[in-house]
Amino acid sequence: MGQYSLQSPALTVIARLSIHHTDFNDILVAGLRRNFRKCCQNIVAVALETPSELAALACAAFRDLVWEDQSYAAREMGADLKYESVELGHLAYEIFLFRKNKAYKKLAKKPKDIVGAKQDYAQSLTNLSVALSRIGRNVEAVGCAKEALEVLQPLVKNNIDDTFQAIYASVLGNYSTRLNAVGRNEEALSFVQQAVAIHKRLADKDSGRFEPGYATSLNNYANRLSDTGQSAEALGFAQQAVTIYKQLADKDPGSFEPGYATSLSNYANSLGEIGQYAEAQDFAQQAVAIRKRLAEKNPDRFEPDYADSLNNYANSLGEIGQYAEAQSVAQQALAIHKRLVEKNPDRFEPDYAMSLNNYAIRLSEAGQYAEAQGSAQQAAAIYERLAVKTPARYEFDAYNSYFNVRFLHWLEEIQPVNGGWAEPLPPLPSEIAAHQQAELRFYAAVLQACLAVSPKQRREGVQQALTVWQALAPAQQNPALEYYLCAWGWLNHHEPTALTEPAGAELWRRFYQQRQGRLPHWLHTVAERLNFTWPDEAA
């Protein structure tokens, strides 16, 4: 504590100078480099307390240190950089890159404990992959995670030690997460499935030691199932994770409340994906309450999760017809993500785009189409940039955002401008996964029906939408239900004899009751523009 009191004032001065006198940066970096051993433990605290360029200056200073000083700083600072940090993301990358290189040097010397050295190297690669993902370098993160797995795989058959097996399962789970971040969802599912099997076996032997890892694997497995359109299967695994984390958090909230909040949020998402919106709203609200409390204590670490929970909660509120409340909550999430993206765009641009799209939905529910279109256009621009860098991960989002913008433009305009409604939709990019292409073909058919300039074109678009709908998985149908109801509502009003399946009336009845008769404003606009009326609850 005494050392901290001596060092922190000087670091605070450096932090403030870095904002107001950028021409001093070279001098400040040189000062940090000379005193890095003395102040490295305090850099993290001061960087978090004083928003500035201190972390960036520390990165530059660390890169210029001699090996021995880098080793000392990496050892002393590693624990403080374990968790995600907006301010410290790039500094964490530098530290974990050094630790990976150090572990590799040790392994290259072929020590007697070669298995232990390989475990250390694999763990350093895993930590580096996480650090890379936290600054948005997802493709590089996949490479590190894959190398970690390749280091350990030859040792698996001959090593039944529980600790080794737990490390191997964690490496499998991490590789799955990194694959998911670049859109390789089917591969991601197969690796996390292996991790779950190992963690379950370990937890059955020693629950006190291995249950946290098992719960994490269950959460990840549920997410990967959802990502591949298997939401019904995901629900049970998400529920198991909630049960385990609740027990852990009751015993040790300081250690396990963050994980409990994550499991609650995942379970809420799974419930929403299968249409159980009232139940989803309850679990989403619980996650918000925990993450709000955590973010108030440690905003740098927990604000990103808090914003995600707010978006999930806004979605669940919208699904039960509480539109004003949903818009207010979504606006809070957007404000947080805007602040985060200004600090670390590589890491938070996808989250900011998601918040912009979510807020556009909430605005459209209130009939604020111009504002909704502006928000959706910002999201589309971000996703378009991201899709250039990582098409497998973001082409779907980019194309879906394009649909949102076109649809909101149609809702806002009374008459087509310069033939804009008739502008053909671009073809689907080949990078989009097959199950996602079907979802986008459905949205395209609904949009074409709305944009149609002749009754024949409209009928064809509606019938195409209803045909594609039948082929969608339940996880894809639920978020698209309102658009399905637009197609069904038009055909039910204008050509009821052309309806070939009876499910539409029941889906409408449940949708209407779930929202207690309160429809999103944009559904009324669609009905008005396409010249049909919505049935009453007794349809």
Q: Which two tokens mark 70?
A: 């880098």
pLDDT digits (tens, 9 = 90+) for 300-319: 889 999 999 999 999 999 99
Is the distance from CB of 38 to CB of 73 less than 8 angstroms? no
The answer to whether residue 324 scores a pLDDT higher than 60 is yes
Work out the mean pLDDT of the chain and round it to a whole number: 89
- Mean per-residue pLDDT, 202-208: 93
Pick from 305, 385, 312: nearest CA to 136 = 385
The lowest-confidence range among 2-6, 129-133, 192-196, 274-278 is 2-6
The answer to whether residue 4 scores a pLDDT higher than 50 is no
Is the distance from CB of 441 to CB of 425 less than 8 angstroms? no
- 539 pLDDT band, cuts 50/70/90, is very low
DSSP-assigned letter for residue 498 = G
Pick from 185, 194, 193, 182: nearest CA to 152 = 194
Residue-range domain boundaries for the chain: 452-538
- The pLDDT of residue 434: 73
- 422 pLDDT band, cuts 50/70/90, is low
The answer to whether residue 86 scores a pLDDT higher than 70 is no
Is the distance from CB of 122 to CB of 152 less than 8 angstroms? yes
- The pLDDT of residue 18: 83
The answer to whether residue 2 scores a pLDDT higher than 70 is no
- The pLDDT of residue 205: 93
Q: Vertex 87, ends 85 and 88: CA angle to 5°? A: 65
3-state secondary structure of 258: helix
- The pLDDT of residue 14: 85
Percent of the chain with pLDDT over 90: 65
DSSP-assigned letter for residue 80 = G
- 430 pLDDT band, cuts 50/70/90, is confident
Is the distance from CB of 461 to CB of 446 less than 8 angstroms? yes
> Who contacts 197 (Cβ-Cβ below 8 Å, separation ≥6)?
none
C-alpha distances in Å from residue 157, one per residue of 146, 160, 401: 18, 7, 47
pLDDT digits (tens, 9 = 90+) for 31-50: 899 999 988 888 888 887 77
- 413 pLDDT band, cuts 50/70/90, is confident
Q: Which two tokens mark 350?
A: 């996808």
- The pLDDT of residue 423: 67
pTM of the shown model = 0.77
3-state secondary structure of 244: helix
- Cα gap 344→352, rounded to integer Å: 11
Residue 110 backbone phi and psi in degrees, to 5: 50, 65
Percent of the chain with pLDDT over 70: 95
Matching residue, tokens 């039944």: 160
- The pLDDT of residue 8: 74
| Between residues 256 and 20, the one the model is more confident about | 256
- Mean per-residue pLDDT, 386-394: 80
- 6 pLDDT band, cuts 50/70/90, is very low
pLDDT digits (tens, 9 = 90+) for 284-296: 999 999 999 999 9
The lowest-confidence range among 113-127, 384-398, 453-467 is 384-398
| Between residues 423 and 165, the one the model is more confident about | 165
**Hey, how many other C-beta atoms are within 10 angstroms of the C-beta on 271?**
23
Is the distance from CB of 313 to CB of 327 less than 8 angstroms? no
pLDDT digits (tens, 9 = 90+) for 460-488: 999 999 999 998 877 678 889 999 999 99
The answer to whether residue 392 scores a pLDDT higher than 90 is no
- The pLDDT of residue 414: 61
- The pLDDT of residue 5: 36
- The pLDDT of residue 159: 78
| Between residues 2 and 77, the one the model is more confident about | 77
- The pLDDT of residue 437: 87
> Who contacts 332 (Cβ-Cβ below 8 Å, separation ≥6)?
307, 310
Residue 537 backbone phi and psi in degrees, to 5: -60, -30
3-state secondary structure of 107: helix
Helices H, strands E: what count in the chain? 25, 0
